[in-house]
Chains A and B, each alone.
Chain A
Amino acid sequence: MTDQIDVAIIGSGPSGLSAAIELKALGIARVVVLERDPEAGGIPRHCGHPPFGIREFKRVLTGPQYARKLVAMARLVGVEIRTSTTVVEARPDGKLLLATKDGVAEIAPRRVIYATGVRETPRSCRFITGPRPLGVVNTGALQSTIYLQDRTPFERPVIIGTELVSFSVIMTCRYAGIKPVAMIEANEGVTARWPTGLFPRIVGVPLHLGTRLSGILGNTSVTGVEVVDRAGNHRVIDCDGVILSGQFTPEVALARCGHLAVDAATKGPVVDQYGRCSDPCYFATGNVLRPVETAGWSWKEGRQTARWVAADLAGDLAPVGAEIEVVAADPVIRYVVPQRLSLAAGSAGMKHLQLRVTRRAKGTLVAMCGDQILWKMPLNARPERRILVPVRKFTAADKPIKIELKFIAE
């Protein structure tokens, strides 16, 4: 083993570990995964329920089983996993400042992959009215408290949101013997895909659609929530906790406080179709690219990114040069990733742009360059479902242009 680290990967969740495993498979000598927690595996470690691993292992596993399997596989193929290691600063040219139990250290890998994932939007960013009692938590905090500590912060919580993760909350609550008193959704329909919408009724959690959280009550502990329906009627639901589920955002503090360009739409780093950041020593993969996909999808992305990073180390990646800029220029389009397309890459790299909409949208998706329509496609989309647009539709351009994505309602 040489001293030179070829690739340092920040984060040991599904995308980070799959990138590491693939890099080793591609013959990269020294691959180091940096994990700030004492144990590797990422978020699946505290999702104590299935289904994980279908895409990766053709089996149905719980989160912890899945995480252990990925970690074991990474170690087996020679990935170096450093736990309790926090990357404090990510500097130009891949130089990383680390904090470990022994103090601080610097490393200078040849390439760095951001695989720091997502977290949920906390109460503070949601500007919720009320005092700040204990017992207002995100799913992540709840699941790690329940599955890793065998403790619970409350017994009769209200669940805010109906994303996929919100149903994971219900499963977690059932495991811990907690009885959610209500599930609140501001929209008229459940956000997650059918048939999850039926699930709360099946397990007896009242689902309130078209209902918005308007305030949290209780000075030291939660005593209730105030909700308002579409007609403007306010009422109080008694409860002893609030679970703010979903509304994921990339965990991108290092990039934001460092030197990398961050996209205001995805809130993740700006990347090209290789997942290459504004400093070409850095790549990004998995959910840090955008909120939010499943573990399986992130795992697949990690593996792809590894191939591009390996190619880059071998000098086979198209160098940074002329680029097409793709922007979501319509309030209906929440984000697009990648945000840059290297002209020199041709058909290499990601095959698709990933888009999401902010609301139910039926109509036409249009790509504009100035006043000119480059192409269009029919769109019938819902907020929590990914939309894939082939990259080749964009790379037909032969000069650096700015493409604006717009939506025309039916």
Chain B
Amino acid sequence: MMQDRRSSLSSTLFDVVVIGAGVVGCAMARRFTLEGARVALVEKACDILDGASKANSAILHTGFDAPVGSIELDCIRKGGEEYRQIHQDMRLPLDAAGAYVVAWNDAEVARLDTLLEQAHTNGISNATLVGQTFLRDNEPHLSDRALAAISVPGEALIDPWSAPYAYLKQALQNGAEVFLKCEVTGGGFAGGEWQLETSRGVLNCRQVINCAGLYGDYVDQAVLGQSDFLITPRKGQFLIFDKAAASLLQAIILPVPTARTKGVVVCRTIFGNLLVGPTADEQQSRHEASTDTVSLEGLMQAAIRMIPALADMPITATYAGLRPATEQKEYRIIPRPDRNWITVGGIRSTGLSAALGIAQHVFAQYQDWGAAHEPLPDPKVPQANILAEQGARAWRQGGQGDMICHCELVREAEIRQALTGPLAARSLAGLKRQTRVTMGRCQGFYCSARLTELTDGHFDIPLAKDIKHD
């Protein structure tokens, strides 16, 4: 059923409409709600986290290698700090794995000093230089080719999806509204108010924050008639090794970064696997995240070069993500005070780490323009789904129904839960992010049939349809 784009979607005059339910948009909706603003979050996909935020390396970075004095560094620092403050109350995992930035050849060894200096300048005072013997003692499965490293103890592993879900849940529980399958198509600004046209109708608000990620420039063009930047998606492919491989590594292994990319990382995941990636390839498509045989084989070889024992480990999953890169490395946070509009663009690869900090940064900007709200005195604090491998997961408890996904140990009750409420999964991808179902080593061999039954009537595109017997 087509809704009239001119008809009103909500009678509320929102203080703020946030466009885009990626990790940045979710954090933004939370921050503004907690500060007392009436917030609406609009997202064109049927599930949140459907763009750049669906695939990343799931690391909470310290910012040791971020450009000195950049907004990015400031947001990563503040974001990390806030995550550490809220994670226990919201039941969000934090695996303090620490990282080694490993030099694999003499040229890289030579660059470590500069990098260490940068880390110290960026406020990461506990970063230190470590030698080969130290690496061998602490990471015995690492190849002998690892010559030296910078140890960055503050780098940590987190759950890339439960965190943004929890941010948005907190916003919703404290009065924000979310509109899914709601694409912003245009709008008009007059008398200090926006009339934002969407595929589901008009929303009225005082302030707009464009967090549309891979489509950030399109949204600026559609509504403002211009964009200050052009998104060129940078694709990153990843390999996920079997859980048995996780015992081969304790810390996050980072390469010595180049100007263009953070390079290929090897680390455990919060879900108990071992991750290798990403590659970095520029492309035009904003939505097609393909993997390709050559790149995946290349990652496999890169992984084995770093950790030779991975040669005998099976692969569990492969995936690709798109980073919203622009012409510049720095974030493109562009305030437009004359139009009550803030563009939050070009959050390339540190969005998960920086999201909470970006939200603080943008709220401070908004306040500078004179907006005044009363922060919520006693906001509700939601509990995230426990999906971390080491967490108190539902499979350990009674009364959660059948085990549906045997590889990831997902119970029926968890799936039913994820199919209800304002953020109910409307696609298999959304359900995976909320439960881990089918993400394990069999990739749906054992549980697909039960899932077609449990999700019947819930998904926009059903997993299967009834057989018509003659």
Contact = CB atoms under 8 A, between A and B. Distances in A.
A84 B315 CA distance: 27
A124 B315 contact: yes
Interface string A136-160: 0110110011101111110000000
Given A119-B446, A127-B296, A149-B452, A101 B402 contact: yes
A103 interface: yes
User: Most chain-B Cβ atoms within 10 A of its Cβ — which of A38, A84, A101, A128?
Assistant: A101
A103 B396 contact: yes
Given A88-B409, A103-B398, A151-B464, A124 B290 contact: no
A86 B440 CA distance: 15
Contacts of A144: 446, 448-449
A249 interface: yes
B445 A119 contact: yes
Interface stretch (B94-102, B114-122, B195-203, B316-324): B316-324
Nearest to A46: B449
A197 to B, nearest CB: 26
Interface in A58-105: 84, 86, 88, 99-104
A146 B468 CA distance: 11
B458 to A, nearest CB: 14
Contacts of B465: 151-152
A267 interface: yes
Contacts of B402: 38, 84, 101
B314 A267 contact: yes
Contacts of B291: 127-130, 132
A145 B445 contact: no
B267 to A, nearest CB: 18
B134 to A, nearest CB: 28
Contact of B467 (A137, A176, A221): A176
Interface string B427-470: 01000000000000111111011101100000001011111111
Given A36-B403, A152-B467, A127 B293 contact: yes
Contacts of B397: 103
Interface in B277-324: 287-293, 296-297, 300, 312, 314-319
A86 B409 contact: yes
A219 B291 CA distance: 12
B443 to A, nearest CB: 4
Interface residues of A, number: 50
A264 interface: yes
Contacts of A149: 449-450, 452-453, 464
B241 to A, nearest CB: 11
B399 interface: yes
B290 A131 contact: yes
B244 A257 contact: yes
Contacts of B450: 149
A128 B293 contact: yes
Interface string A380-391: 000000000000
B466 A151 contact: yes
Contact of A134 (B316, B317, B461, B469): B461
Interface of B: 240, 242-244, 287-293, 296-297, 300, 312, 314-319, 395-403, 406-407, 409, 428, 441-446, 448-450, 452-453, 461, 463-470
Interface of A: 36, 38, 46, 84, 86, 88, 99-104, 119-120, 122-125, 127-132, 134, 137-138, 140-141, 144-146, 148-153, 176-177, 219-221, 249, 251, 253, 256-257, 264, 267
21 contacts: A36-B403, A84-B402, A88-B409, A99-B395, A101-B401, A101-B402, A122-B441, A124-B443, A130-B292, A131-B289, A131-B290, A134-B463, A144-B446, A145-B464, A152-B464, A152-B465, A152-B467, A249-B314, A253-B243, A253-B244, A253-B407
Listed from nearest, the 8 A-B pairs whose CB atoms lie closest are A122-B443, A144-B449, A141-B448, A151-B464, A103-B398, A102-B398, A256-B244, A127-B296
Given A132-B319, A151-B464, A253-B243, 9 more contacts: A84-B403, A88-B395, A100-B398, A119-B445, A141-B449, A149-B450, A153-B448, A253-B441, A264-B312
